[in-house]
Structure formats: structure tokens, C-alpha cells
Amino acid sequence: MTACGNQAPKQKTEEVVVHEAQDDAVTLVNGKKWKVNFATNKGIRNMKSLMSSINNDSKLSEYREWGKSPQTEFGEIFTRCDMTGEAHNQLHNYLHPMAAWFKELKEGDLILCQSTVKALKEHLDKYDTYFR
């Protein structure tokens, strides 16, 4: 995730409300969502649509193969990152837990993969809470 070179200094001039998103805190500014670029919205939308193609009846090999598609979308978000400032920082806070989940899909057993997909789906469902 450090490949994204748009690291702007944080400015804390607005009141923020903290919501937990796995390991990192994602905040809203005065109750308003962060504006993100088109590529990010598209990548998240694509990941959400991929969720319907995997389920608890899937085999371990299917989880491994399936995990490549959302991970590709995840990579595209970083490749096309042109955001700056606090919106950029908050997006990285949101995306951070996903990297570990993609690793679990590559290396985990069946039960871990099932749990990981559930966590990823729940996390993706929260995206619209923080970003527009």
C-alpha cells in the first residue's frame, strides 16, 4: 500500500467522528463522507459484485482462484490512486485490512477462507458509510 505516492500531510482542522473499520480507524468529517476518485469507486463496486460468485459451499481451490479477482481490483485502486489530503489518508485506513485478507485467501485453510470472505463482504458493505 505504500506504492501510492500521494502522501499529503494530515491537517486536523475539522471535527471528526471515529468509526472502527477492522484494525484502522476511518473517520467522517462533520458527519460527511469523503469524496474519492472514480477508479476507487469502480474498484470497490467490482469487488462487491464478485462477492456473489463465492459461497460457503466452495472448495479451497475455488477460494484461492476467486481471491485473485478482488485482489486485482484492489491493486488497480492503488495503481490509479491520484487522491491527496485527508480523503486519501482515510481511504488507506479503509483499505489496509484488505491486504491481510487477500493473503489469507492465498494461504489459509478452508475455514479461514470462509471467514475471510465473510469479513471482506462485511467490510465492503461499509464502504458507502465513509465514501462517496
Q: What is the pLDDT of residues 2-54, one digit of tens each?
A: 457 554 444 444 443 333 344 448 999 899 999 999 999 999 999 999 999 99
Check residue 15 and give its pLDDT.
43
Q: CA–CA separation, 101 vs 37, rounded Å?
A: 23
Q: What is the pLDDT of residue 21?
A: 41
Q: Which residues of 49-73 are buried (b: 16+ CB within 10 A; e: fewer)?
A: ebbeebeeebeeeebeebbeebbeb
By DSSP bridging, strand 24-29 and strand 16-21 are antiparallel
C-alpha cell at position 34: 469523503
Given this model, what pLDDT does residue 5 score?
A: 58
pTM of the model: 0.82
pLDDT in tens, 78-110: 999 999 999 999 999 999 999 999 999 999 999
Please, which pLDDT band fits residue 62 given cuts at 50, 70 and 90?
very high
If one counts every other C-beta atom within 10 angstroms of the C-beta of residue 113, the result is 25
Query: Distance between CA 6 and CA 8 in Å, rounded?
Result: 6
The pLDDT, as a whole number, for residue 29 is 87
